């Protein structure tokens, strides 16, 4: 039996005395995109922070392709193969586009076609055009592409995308969607945290909705699309087919 790319089992997490995640369980299948949805304050970012090791869970387990990773340092977790595109992008503004990519490069023995700078440029031709430009002078959309490119340079086995469409113009959001679809075609396993429900439902295979730190829904995006009650109850929006 092939193991899940990522599996959370009964994960509990606290910020100080505040209990934020109450027994979160879900599994990402290899090569799938899982949309992690929920209102602001539902626990999505805490969930991502716990997976990547910024926050140590107080209970439960997190496995990456069957290997236990909860409680390890963020560096170790990244080294084992989890890549993060953080909310707000956080590229190095005073380095060039090319330097931002090279700094992030990690070799992995098991990767069939590793990510190299030229492969990133093939995926994002605009970054190729701007390779010598300071990253801080790029547009928001270009910075988002650079943030995704930089995470890919680590050759992650699972990629966490935290609000990739936030603050971007609709045309650029569509481009982010195309990028996620291309990565999925390449077999990349992805957890996508996204406020834009339309984008999330278009690219994801699976969806998990968090509500006040608990799983309110866990199933296929197809099931979710056909359940307006769940959507309006947990996301506060009405989704018309």
Confirm whether 170 is domain-assigned.
no
pLDDT tens-digit series, residues 34-67: 999 999 889 999 999 999 999 999 999 999 999 9
Per residue in 117-138, pLDDT (tens digit) is 999 999 999 999 999 999 999 9
Residue 57 sits at φ, ψ, to 5 deg, of -70, 150
Report if residue 224 sits inside a domain. yes
Number of domains composing the chain: 1
**202 HSE (CA, 13 A, CB side):** 16
Q: What number of other Cβ atoms are within 10 A of residue 68's Cβ?
A: 10
pTM of the model: 0.92
What CATH number should be reported for the domain holding residue 63? 3.40.50.300
Stretch 225-237: mean pLDDT: 86
**104 domain residue, yes or no:** no
Encoded tokens for 100? 């931002």
Residue 219 lies in a domain: yes
Strand 59-64 relative to strand 67-68, pairing: antiparallel
Residue 16, SS3? coil
Q: Residue 38, by phi and psi: left (phi above 0), alpha (psi -120 to 50) or beta?
A: left
Contact, 35 vs 231, CB < 8 A?
no
pLDDT in tens, 204-220: 999 999 999 999 999 99
Q: Is the pLDDT of residue 239 over 60?
A: no
Q: How far is CA 19 from CA 29, 39, 57, 84, 212, in A?
A: 28, 17, 11, 24, 10
In a domain, 133, yes or no: no
Give the phi and the psi of residue 179 in degrees, each rounded to 5.
-60, -45
Residue-range definition of the domain harbouring residue 200: 1-81+159-165+189-241
**Is 241 a member of any domain?**
yes
Nearest to 176 by CA among 82, 85, 92, 66: 85
């Amino acid at each position: 039996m092939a193991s899940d790319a990522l599996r959370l089992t009964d994960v509990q997490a606290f910020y100080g005395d505040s209990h934020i995640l109450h027994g979160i369980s879900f599994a990402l299948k290899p090569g799938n995109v899982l949309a992690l949805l929920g209102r602001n304050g539902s626990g999505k970012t805490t969930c991502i922070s716990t997976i990547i090791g910024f926050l140590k869970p107080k209970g439960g387990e997190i496995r990456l392709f069957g290997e236990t990773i909860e409680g390890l340092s963020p560096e170790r977790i990244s080294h084992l193969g989890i890549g993060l595109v953080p909310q707000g992008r956080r590229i190095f503004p005073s380095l060039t586009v090319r330097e931002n990519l090279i700094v992030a490069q990690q070799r992995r023995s098991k990767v069939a076609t590793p990510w190299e700078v030229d492969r990133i440029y093939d995926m994002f031709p605009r970054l190729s055009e701007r390779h010598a430009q300071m990253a801080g002078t790029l547009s928001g959309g270009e910075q988002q592409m650079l943030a995704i490119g930089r995470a890919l340079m680590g050759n992650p086995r699972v990629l966490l995308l935290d609000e990739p469409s936030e603050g971007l113009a609709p045309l650029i959001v569509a481009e982010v969607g195309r990028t996620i679809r291309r990565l999925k075609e390449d077999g990349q396993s992805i957890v996508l945290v996204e406020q834009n429900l339309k984008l999330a439902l278009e690219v994801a295979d699976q969806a998990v909705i968090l509500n006040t730190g608990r799983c309110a829904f866990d199933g296929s995006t197809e099931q979710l699309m056909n359940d307006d009650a769940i959507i309006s109850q947990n996301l506060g929006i009405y989704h018309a087919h």
